[in-house]
Structure 1
């Protein structure tokens, strides 16, 4: 079986097998990563996966998990950030929507009878 050499920030160089490595390849290359649990300290180590690293790991037998970033996550957002008052106003708005819907249902029942 293939041996993969990686580096743990605490323990230094470690040897892994393909099943011990998780490779996530994203449609946004800067978000691709590989991760493993260090066999020495058991900490999860996560590092950026460049195209070269992806090629080396897949050639070594590590399956790549493909991940597509939803377009909404890449949209530019303008304007002020949503604050707690905005969330509270929205919550209160939802409560009044239920009241309006109940009143409308009562009117519809009255006209149907």
Structure 2
């Protein structure tokens, strides 16, 4: 069986099997990483995985998990960051909108207006 050598920032070098290593290959290459639970301190260690590390781990038997980042994550946003008060105001607004929708639904559907006939 293949042995993979990695390093824990607290314990130093550790030896792992391919099943002990999680490899996440992201559509944004700089976000790819591998992670493992240190066999000594039992803490999770997560490190970036460049193209060469990905190839090396796959050749050692580690199964790669694809991670496709939604396009929305990469959009640039302008304006101030939302804060707790903004979220609370929105929740209160939604509550009022629900009451308005319930009142409209209680009245039932309105009949459609018919278009006037035109002479040909």
In the TM superposition, structure 1's runs of 4+ consecutive aligned residues that sit over 2 Å from their partners are: none
CA-based RMSD of the aligned residues comes to 1.5
Task: State the TM-score, normalized to the length of structure 2.
Answer: 0.86
Instruction: For 1:19 and 1:31, locate their aligned partners in 2 and report how far apart those are by CA, in whole Å.
Output: 21
For the residue of structure 2 that corresponds to 1:108, the secondary structure is: coil
For the residue of structure 1 that corresponds to 2:108, the secondary structure is: helix
Instruction: For 1:35 and 1:84, locate their aligned partners in 2 and report how far apart those are by CA, in whole Å.
Output: 33
Question: Shift of the alpha carbon at 1:6?
Answer: 0.6
User: 1:23 aligns to what?
Assistant: 23
User: 1:72 aligns to what?
Assistant: 72
Instruction: For 1:106 and 1:14, locate their aligned partners in 2 and report how far apart those are by CA, in whole Å.
Output: 66
- 1:9-68 Cα offsets, whole Å, 9 max, x none, are 111111111011110000011110001111111111110001000000000000000000
Larger radius of gyration: 2
Instruction: For 2:9 and 2:58, locate their aligned partners in 1 and report how far apart those are by CA, in whole Å.
Output: 23
Tell me which moved more, 82-91 or 25-34.
82-91
For the residue of structure 2 that corresponds to 1:98, the secondary structure is: helix
Write out aligned runs for 1:1-113 (5 A).
1-108=1-108
- 1:76-110 Cα offsets, whole Å, 9 max, x none, are 0001111233222211111111221122122227x
Structure having the larger proportion of residues in helix: 1
- Count of aligned pairs: 111
Instruction: For 1:68 and 1:80, locate their aligned partners in 2 and report how far apart those are by CA, in whole Å.
Output: 27
Gaps (5+ residues) in structure 1?
none
